Amino acid sequence: MEDKPVSESHSELSELALPNDANGLNTLLGGKIMHLVDIAGAIAAARHSRCFCVTASFDEMDFLEPVYIGNLVVLRASVNRVFRTSMEVGVKVYAEDLRAAETRHVASAYLTFVAIDANRATIPMPPVIPETDEEARRYDEAGKRREFRLARRKRE
C-alpha cells in the first residue's frame, strides 16, 4: 500500500443557499450545513482510499457565523491522518456573498470515515503524507483528537 500526499484527497464542494433550506431567521439550517460537510468529507475520504467510505463519527461542529440565503456555500475537505482502517477528515465551510465578493469562514468540523469492501467490512487504507507545515500541524492534532475519541469511548 503506497503512501499518498494530503493533496490527493483535497475536495471542494459548492452549493447555493436557497430558501427551501432556510430557518425562521432566513439563514441556512445547521442540519443542511452538516449534511454538506458529510458529503464533502466523504469525497475527500474516497479520493484518498479509492473505496466507498462511510461516516464513523462526527466530532463537534462549530458554527462561527450564519450563512445567509443567496450565499454560495463552499466546503473544503482533506484527509488529516489515517489510522489503519479509519481516517480523520477536516472540513472548513465558507460563505461567499457573490455580489460583494466577500468570503467568510462560517464553520469547521472533523469527521472519521472508514473505507469498506464489497462485503461492507472495513479495510486498511494507505497512510497519508503531510507536505506542508499546516498539513503537519493538522496531522499531529488529529492524533490527539483520536486519543480523546478513544478515551471517551472507553468511558461510555
Q: What is the mean pLDDT of the chain?
A: 95
Q: Residue 98 class from Cβ within 10 Å (0-12 exposed, 13-18 middle, 19+ buried)?
A: exposed
- Which pLDDT tens digit goes with each residue over 4-47? 999 999 999 999 999 999 999 999 999 999 999 999 999 999 99
Which secondary-structure segment (H or E) carries 149?
helix 133-155
Q: Give residue 95's pLDDT band: very low, low, confident or very high (50, 70, 90).
A: very high
Rounded mean pLDDT of 87-103? 97
Give the domain extent around 74: 4-155
Rounded mean pLDDT of 130-136? 97
pLDDT at 87: 97
Task: Report the number of distinct structural domains present in the chain.
Answer: 1
Residue 28 sits in a domain whose CATH number is 3.10.129.10
Q: What is the reported pTM?
A: 0.93
